[in-house]
Amino acid sequence: MNAALAALKRVCLIGSGNWGSAIAKIVGLNVMNQPDVFEKEVLMYVYEEIIDGAKLTDIINLEHENVKYLPDIKISPNVIAVPDVVQACTNADILIFVLPHQFVKETCEKMASAVKPGALGLSLIKGFVLTEGEGIQLVSNIIKNTLDIETAVLMGANLATEVASEMFCETTIACHNPEYHGILSKLFQTPYFRVKVIENVAGVEACGALKNVVGIGAGIVDGLGFGDNTKAAVIRLGLMEMMKFTKVFLESDDISVFFESCGIADLVATCHGGRNRLLGEAVVKSMKYICHSSYFEPFCLSRLFSAAAFSYNHSSRHMMFQVLYSHHMAKNSCLVFTYFIYE
């Protein structure tokens, strides 16, 4: 192992929402319990908000609880909330990114001059970044290219509130450099949060992003009251589409990744207990009918990474749900999630 890897590691968290706060609980305790591996203090960048007249950072530092995004869960006191992202990342060796994907690029640009050369990035962000011109990009590539650091990912069937309540689950970490595998396990593994580390970063990350789309489809099925058999069909078809996407757009034939926690397990968890599922259900219940080719995006804001078209004909009970997620990616190529459900 090289000298840089052997020195004590300073960890920071970039993001502090529902998942960021749950992960802060794990990382804070693991860092404290391994003083031979990690520095004790973990700075956590918190996008400042005022809650009942008080700053969220002050509340977290006084009460050791993120009262807005993860109430009733205590975070260990060595996790210090800071509102300045540059302060949070300065001198850190491991930077854990857990922001909603739409904020990642601007946040990295602010951090660029302060990040330690040779630091390791780790993205827990599930989504793709869509920009005019460059099309769909992996979040890990945005971090890697903006900060010039190696970037790993962590994805899995990890609904934040369940993890925070210490209910058993598994997760998948992917990192190209095997020298980091051990330290990443030490940072995240607990008796209830079981870590497997592999090397297929793009495959793991694609699973985390694509399952959101299927989760919205599952919510639509729930909203329409179509039952568990239909939802199982959507999950199966969705998994096949996820595989097809990674083969076509990431040129990856590695299907083993779909059988890790980041794959089928996260798909099932999201389709039953995720917010993407809630979104799909809420859209159907609140709107009943959405014209064909109306754009889904305004309704779900950041939750969908691309434009989607949805149509439902109530009288014939025929539903079609499409996500045109490759529209901007390559000229003349367009892979489409399409669910046809007839009764």
Ligand X SMILES: O=P(O)(O)OC[C@H](O)CO
Ligand Y SMILES: NC(=O)c1ccc[n+]([C@@H]2O[C@H](COP(=O)([O-])OP(=O)(O)OC[C@H]3O[C@@H](n4cnc5c(N)ncnc54)[C@H](O)[C@@H]3O)[C@@H](O)[C@H]2O)c1
124 vs 243, beta carbon nearer ligand Y = 124
Q: Is there a catalytic annotation at residue 9?
A: no
- C-alpha to C-alpha distance for 343 and 338, rounded to whole angstroms: 16
State in angstroms the smallest separation of the CB of 300 from ligand Y.
13
User: Which residue in the set 98, 159, 213, 267 belongs to the binding site for ligand X (CB under 6 A)?
Assistant: 159
DSSP tag of 220? H
- Sign of the CA dihedral running 177, 126, 157, 236: negative
State in angstroms the smallest separation of the CB of 49 from ligand Y.
6
Question: Does 15 carry a binding-site annotation?
Answer: yes
269 binding partner (options ligand X, ligand Y, none; Cβ < 5 to 8 Å by kind): ligand X
φ, ψ for residue 233, nearest 5 deg:
-65, -40
276 binding partner (options ligand X, ligand Y, none; Cβ < 5 to 8 Å by kind): ligand X
Q: Based on the shown chain and the rule CB under 6 A, indicate whether residue 64 belongs to the binding site for ligand X.
A: no
Name the catalytic one among 211, 231, 244, 285.
Answer: 211
User: Which residue in the set 10, 64, 126, 144 belongs to the binding site for ligand X (CB under 6 A)?
Assistant: 126
Q: Based on the shown chain and the rule CB under 6 A, indicate whether residue 101 belongs to the binding site for ligand X.
A: no
216 vs 224, beta carbon nearer ligand Y = 216
215 binding partner (options ligand Y, ligand X, none; Cβ < 5 to 8 Å by kind): ligand X
* Residue, CB closest to ligand Y: 17
Give the CB-side neighbour count of residue 301, counting CA atoms within 13 A.
6
State in angstroms the smallest separation of the CB of 273 from ligand X.
7
Q: Which residues of 302-322 are buried (b: 16+ CB within 10 A; e: fewer)?
A: ebbbbbbbbebeeeeeebebb
Q: Which residues of 98-123 are buried (b: 16+ CB within 10 A; e: fewer)?
A: bbbbeebbebbeebeebbbeebbbbb
299 binding partner (options ligand Y, ligand X, none; Cβ < 5 to 8 Å by kind): none
Question: Does 53 carry a binding-site annotation?
Answer: no
User: Which residue in the set 81, 269, 283, 300 belongs to the binding site for ligand X (CB under 6 A)?
Assistant: 269
- C-alpha to C-alpha distance for 81 and 49, rounded to whole angstroms: 12
The residues of the shown chain that bind ligand Y, judged by CB under 6 A, are: 15-20, 47, 49, 69, 98-101, 103, 107, 124-127, 158-160
- Is residue 324 within 8 A of residue 334, CB to CB? The reply is yes
Q: Based on the shown chain and the rule CB under 6 A, indicate whether residue 157 belongs to the binding site for ligand X.
A: yes
CA angle 23, 126, 168 (to 5 degrees): 45
Q: CB count, 10 Å around CB of 250?
A: 15
Q: Based on the shown chain and the rule CB under 6 A, indicate whether residue 215 belongs to the binding site for ligand X.
A: yes
Angle of helix 104-111 relative to helix 139-147, nearest 10 degrees, comes to 20
φ, ψ for residue 88, nearest 5 deg:
-60, -40
Residues contributing to the site for ligand X (CB under 6 A): 126, 157-159, 215, 266, 269-270, 274-276
Active-site residue set: 211
